[in-house]
Amino acid sequence: MRKPFLFSSHDSERGVSILIEYLILSGILMIFFAFIVLQFNDVLGKTPLSTTMKNQFQDVGNQIAVKLTDISIIAPENGYVKAKIFMPYTIGDYDFKAEFTQVGGEYVLKISSERAGKSEYIPINNIALKVLPVGSTFSITPVHEIEYTKYSHMMPTAVALAYPTTVEVGSNVTFDMTLSTGEGDLWFRWDFGDGSSYEAKYNPNNPSQSLVEHSYSADGTYTATLTVWDSYGYSDSSTINITVIPQSQELDPYLFATKYVIPEVTEPDNPVQIVIYLRGGGIIEQARNISVMHVIDVSGSMDPDYYGTNGYTLYNSSSGTASPSKWENYVNVDSSFSSLTVMAYSSSGKDIDLWVKSPDGDFARAQYGITNGEMYFVQNPVEGNWTISVVADYPTGSDTVTVEVEKNGYFWWWWYFSGTLVSSWNFALDANASIITFQIPIVENLKIEVTPVNGSKELHLWVEEPGGALKGPYSSSSGTYYSDSNAASGTYTAYVVGDFPYGTQEFYITADIAKIDAAKITAKTFNSFLRGTDQVGVVSFGGQGSGGATPRITLDQPLTNNTDQANTSIDGLYAYGGTPLGGGIKKAREELVANTTTGNIPVMIILSDGNPTITSDGQASETLAIQEALSEAEITKQTQVNNESILIYTIGFGSDANATLLQEIATSPDYYFFAATSEELQNIYEQIARELKERAAINITITDVLTSDVTLSETPSNANVSYVGNQTVIQWNISSIRINETWIGSFEVVPNTEGLILTNVYGVSNVTFIPWPFTGVNFTTIYLPVPELNVTRLSPEKVVLK
């Protein structure tokens, strides 16, 4: 076969010659490589770069977002936070900018680079900040930070109070702004409504200085305005109405009630205080007259002469630390001592104690007595330094004491033969007693006793009576004490001497009097509260005869206006025998029924220190006596004297008193009191006196109904809280409020919404009570005002990126 001419002799696929093939291929390759190389920048640089830039933008953005979240967690209420942001100067060789902006209605953080034409967006809607951040920063600036600032300021709240709110012409009204609050220094001004005013700076360290007194010269109704302002320029005002009546017009006791919210302007979610304020008003002189029967237990248990130490009650006490009056010195004992003798004696014979301590042992007391002193003797004493202490065992005065140390003395039978004198000292030793004085009135029995506390060192007690006689010593370790019957009144001085050679001893010293004495003293104190128009009488119940089993129920004083006469009859009481309580109640009731002046409140005050033990007809059975007491009390409570019920107060005196029985006898458990000491008894009588005379309102119920706009943050301690629908009902119950007595109920709430909100429901929040003269059963109602709370954002927060 012949091949075509154009084909070369070689059989191959080549279309061109090797050189041209090489050139064409090179050309194609070069174009190809050029194409690839041009793509290098993009492929190897730009695309990874753009992804990297995107990642890093997101990284910086996340850093800022995370810092923003952390800031919102620790955001202060009143202060600032600055957090540094770390940004590289360039990303991908381009500088960039971070800013807070809005994109399509959503707040975002935008990291962008104009030159590179790239930007990343980090949404920040979910971060819990109430205010959206603003600002921007460039990567080339050296410092970047986010700053959060919030300054809140407590606005001043004026709370205007005055008492009494109804007053006679010319009488002073006290204007009280001390419940007002604010931040920093406060000034206030009262415009009294009659043209006059008063301005001053409020001193929180001494609030009573800011009470202002003002009186009105003409009758009528005045509105007093209180304005309070602080150093930042904010102010608030509040008013109160004063009614002025002509002089000597009758004014019944009344109750004043109002309600405040403090502060009145606040930020959302800040708690505020709601305060309900009640005050009894009126003129005390107008209060009712009373007829009081004292029913006093004069059984044997009220007197230590019959009942022993349980017949005493604490009158006064004190405590102190006794340290001995001591002289100390040392003697060195060496091997030349076959025996050691120490003698101490006083020149005028005052009692001194000698204590000697060996180098390796404790203090030991001298074993022998010598004229005016004591002596210590030991054979073969240990070598070394011996300590000699002389303690003065006398309460007052001073004495010269001689101490002699001998060696090598010896005893033969009971004679002592002196040895060689080694040392001797002569010194004055003053007494160092702790001195406590007691003022004691005339009592039947008085006891003064000293007890060591936190330790048991020996204490000696001397008592100097008002007449000057000095009795003692009484030793605490043997349990002896000073006692006297029919003690004179005056100053009793107790001297407590420490009878130990080292250290100190704390002690507790008590002055006790017989219970019957305490009863007498306090009943007479009660009588001092009575006025000429009141009546007072005394019934005593006790026993007589052998064993005291015969009842002795005496009407010592019929109802009289003459308190001096009543006091004299009280002085004449004496204690003896059993306790016929029922008979005493009956006698007192009969007297009240017979002789109470019309219009007076009949009252019985029963004082007893134990169980009733005999009946009024002489049976010695506790069970029957208790039954009789209860039934007599019941009859008394049902008895009406001039259309008034008899009030029964009972006082349990001392630990043996039967509280359950006495509470049942009293008009209600609130009318029962317990006294352990005579001081407590005194306080109780004073309290009863004040309660009887000065009550302005009784059976008071305060109801506050909160709207759903506020939430109670914690329940007040003495109130009942219940929930009705979406309203919160808080209720307090108090038994009585006296004239010039203040009651405040307060609790904390948190507002739920913003704006002007009402803190309670008008017409429902009220105070109900039985008004003076407490004879009716109709309740009077006062409606509480509705304070408004303004919840607003005063000081916006700011978040700035810079």
Partner 1 sequence: MTLEGVIAAVLILSVAYFLFQSTMIISPVSDEVVYVQMRQYGQDALTILNNESGAEDTLQYVLKRINSTYVPDKLLSSLEKLLPDYTDFNLQVYYVNLTTNKIEVYNITNRIPTSTTVTASTYLVIRNGAFVDDSPFKLNSSGIEGPNNNVPILLEVRLTLWRV
Partner 2 sequence: MEGLKDTRGQIIITMALMISILLAGLSYVYSQNLLAGTETSITQLNFPKNEIRDLRRIAIEELTDYASEPSSFLDRAKELDRQITTLYALHGAYASIDVFDIKKSVVGGQETITSFMIRIVFSNTEVEYEETVLVQLT
State which residue, 21 or 199, has the beta carbon closest to partner 1: 21
Residues in 104-123 that interact with partner 1 by CB under 8 A:
none
Any contact of residue 27 with partner 2 (CB under 8 A)?
Answer: no
Any contact of residue 796 with partner 2 (CB under 8 A)?
Answer: no
Any contact of residue 83 with partner 2 (CB under 8 A)?
Answer: yes
Residues in 362-391 that interact with partner 2 by CB under 8 A:
none
Single-letter amino acid, residue 674: F
Any contact of residue 55 with partner 2 (CB under 8 A)?
Answer: yes
Residues in 395-454 that interact with partner 2 by CB under 8 A:
none
CA pseudo-torsion sign 164, 167, 171, 173: positive
Q: For residue 240, give the nearest of 259, 263, 254 by alpha carbon.
A: 259
Any contact of residue 428 with partner 1 (CB under 8 A)?
Answer: no
CA pseudo-torsion sign 7, 11, 14, 18: negative
Any contact of residue 32 with partner 1 (CB under 8 A)?
Answer: yes
Please give the helix or strand (H or E) that residue 235 lies within, else none.
Answer: strand 235-245
Residue 43 Cβ, how far from partner 1 at the closest point, in Å? 5
Which of partner 1, partner 2, none is residue 79 near (CB under 5 to 8 Å by kind)?
Answer: partner 2
Q: Is 649:689 a contact under the CB 8 Å cutoff?
A: no
Any contact of residue 261 with partner 2 (CB under 8 A)?
Answer: no
Q: How far is CA 342 from CA 371, 385, 428, 773, in A?
A: 14, 14, 18, 82
State which residue, 38 or 382, has the beta carbon closest to partner 1: 38
Q: For residue 698, give the nearest of 766, 774, 644 by alpha carbon.
A: 774
The residue within the footprint of partner 2, chosen from 23, 66, 594, 659 (CB under 8 A), is 66
Residue 33 Cβ, how far from partner 1 at the closest point, in Å? 9
Which of partner 2, partner 1, none is residue 25 near (CB under 5 to 8 Å by kind)?
Answer: partner 1
> How many other CB atoms sit within 10 Å of the CB of residue 50?
15
Residue 84 Cβ, how far from partner 2 at the closest point, in Å? 5
Alpha helices in 299-415 (DSSP H): 304-307
Pairing of strands 312-322, 363-365: unpaired
Three-class HEC string of 152-215: CCCCCECCCEEECCEEECCCEEEEECCCCECCCCEEEEEECCCCCEEEEEECCCCHHHHCEEEE
Any contact of residue 154 with partner 2 (CB under 8 A)?
Answer: yes
The residue within the footprint of partner 2, chosen from 14, 84, 130, 531 (CB under 8 A), is 84
The residue within the footprint of partner 1, chosen from 17, 26, 101, 491 (CB under 8 A), is 26
Cα–Cα distance between 381 and 358 in angstroms, integer?
A: 8
Residues in 55-84 that interact with partner 1 by CB under 8 A:
55
Roughly how many angstroms between the first and final C-alpha of the chain, as a whole number? Answer: 92
Residue 504, exposed/middle/buried by CB under 10 A (0-12, 13-18, 19+)?
middle
The phi, psi pair for 755, rounded to 5°, reads: 105, -165
Any contact of residue 48 with partner 1 (CB under 8 A)?
Answer: yes
State which residue, 85 or 782, has the beta carbon closest to partner 1: 85
Any contact of residue 52 with partner 1 (CB under 8 A)?
Answer: yes
Any contact of residue 729 with partner 2 (CB under 8 A)?
Answer: no
The residue within the footprint of partner 1, chosen from 16, 30, 38, 44 (CB under 8 A), is 44
Cα–Cα distance between 376 and 356 in angstroms, integer?
A: 8
Residues in 484-543 that interact with partner 2 by CB under 8 A:
none
State which residue, 61 or 580, has the beta carbon closest to partner 2: 61
Cα–Cα distance between 460 and 470 in angstroms, integer?
A: 13
Any contact of residue 47 with partner 1 (CB under 8 A)?
Answer: yes
Which of partner 1, partner 2, none is residue 469 near (CB under 5 to 8 Å by kind)?
Answer: none
Residue 77 Cβ, how far from partner 2 at the closest point, in Å? 7
Q: Is 198:214 a contact under the CB 8 Å cutoff?
A: yes
Residues in 28-47 that interact with partner 2 by CB under 8 A:
40, 43-45
Residue whose entry in the numeric block shows the structure tokens 């140390």: 405
Which of partner 2, partner 1, none is residue 62 near (CB under 5 to 8 Å by kind)?
Answer: partner 2
The residue within the footprint of partner 2, chosen from 123, 207, 246, 397 (CB under 8 A), is 207
Q: Is 607:651 a contact under the CB 8 Å cutoff?
A: yes
Question: What mask of x and - would describe binding to partner 2 in positions 91 to 120, judged by CB under 8 A?
Answer: xx----------------------------
Give the CA angle between residues 245, 249, 253 to the nearest 5°: 85
Question: Tokens representing 584?
Answer: 């005493």
Which of partner 1, partner 2, none is residue 485 near (CB under 5 to 8 Å by kind)?
Answer: none
Any contact of residue 686 with partner 2 (CB under 8 A)?
Answer: no
Which of partner 1, partner 2, none is residue 83 near (CB under 5 to 8 Å by kind)?
Answer: partner 2
Number of residues that bind partner 2 (CB under 8 A): 39
Residue whose entry in the numeric block shows the structure tokens 């005056």: 490
Residue 104, exposed/middle/buried by CB under 10 A (0-12, 13-18, 19+)?
exposed
Any contact of residue 128 with partner 2 (CB under 8 A)?
Answer: no
State which residue, 32 or 198, has the beta carbon closest to partner 1: 32
Window of 1-9, 24-32, 356-364, 437-445 that interacts with partner 1 by CB under 8 A: 24-32
State which residue, 33 or 89, has the beta carbon closest to partner 1: 33
Q: Is residue 574 helix, strand or coil?
A: coil
Cα–Cα distance between 50 and 559 in angstroms, integer?
A: 110
Pairing of strands 420-430, 482-487: unpaired
Give the CA angle between residues 696, 701, 600 to the nearest 5°: 30
State which residue, 371 or 454, has the beta carbon closest to partner 1: 454
Cα–Cα distance between 529 and 343 in angstroms, integer?
A: 64
State which residue, 40 or 363, has the beta carbon closest to partner 1: 40
**Of how many residues is the chain composed?**
802
Q: Is 652:609 a contact under the CB 8 Å cutoff?
A: yes
The residue within the footprint of partner 1, chosen from 39, 321, 713, 775 (CB under 8 A), is 39
Any contact of residue 25 with partner 1 (CB under 8 A)?
Answer: yes
The residue within the footprint of partner 1, chosen from 31, 34, 38, 43 (CB under 8 A), is 43
Any contact of residue 17 with partner 1 (CB under 8 A)?
Answer: no
Burial 64-84 (b: 16+ CB within 10 A, else e): bbebbeebbeebeeeeebeee
The residue within the footprint of partner 1, chosen from 16, 30, 34, 36 (CB under 8 A), is 36
Window of 54-62, 321-329, 474-482, 592-600 that interacts with partner 2 by CB under 8 A: 54-62
Window of 21-29, 212-220, 419-427, 528-536 that interacts with partner 1 by CB under 8 A: 21-29
Cα–Cα distance between 538 and 780 in angstroms, integer?
A: 37
Residue whose entry in the numeric block shows the structure tokens 């009077």: 780
Which of partner 1, partner 2, none is residue 421 near (CB under 5 to 8 Å by kind)?
Answer: none
Which of partner 1, partner 2, none is residue 28 near (CB under 5 to 8 Å by kind)?
Answer: partner 1
Q: Is residue 656 helix, strand or coil?
A: coil
Residue 83 Cβ, how far from partner 1 at the closest point, in Å? 17
Please give the helix or strand (H or E) that residue 320 lies within, else none.
Answer: strand 312-322
The residue within the footprint of partner 2, chosen from 6, 19, 74, 777 (CB under 8 A), is 74
Cα–Cα distance between 703 and 768 in angstroms, integer?
A: 8
Residue 89 Cβ, how far from partner 2 at the closest point, in Å? 11
Which of partner 2, partner 1, none is residue 92 near (CB under 5 to 8 Å by kind)?
Answer: partner 2
Cα–Cα distance between 696 and 255 in angstroms, integer?
A: 6
Residues contacting 252, CB < 8 A, separation 6+ = 282, 286, 771, 772, 773
Site of interaction with partner 2 (CB under 8 A): 40, 43-45, 48-49, 52, 55-56, 59-60, 62-63, 66-67, 70, 73-74, 76-84, 86, 88, 91-92, 154, 183-184, 204-207, 748
Site of interaction with partner 1 (CB under 8 A): 21-22, 25-26, 28-29, 32, 36, 39, 43-44, 47-48, 51-52, 55
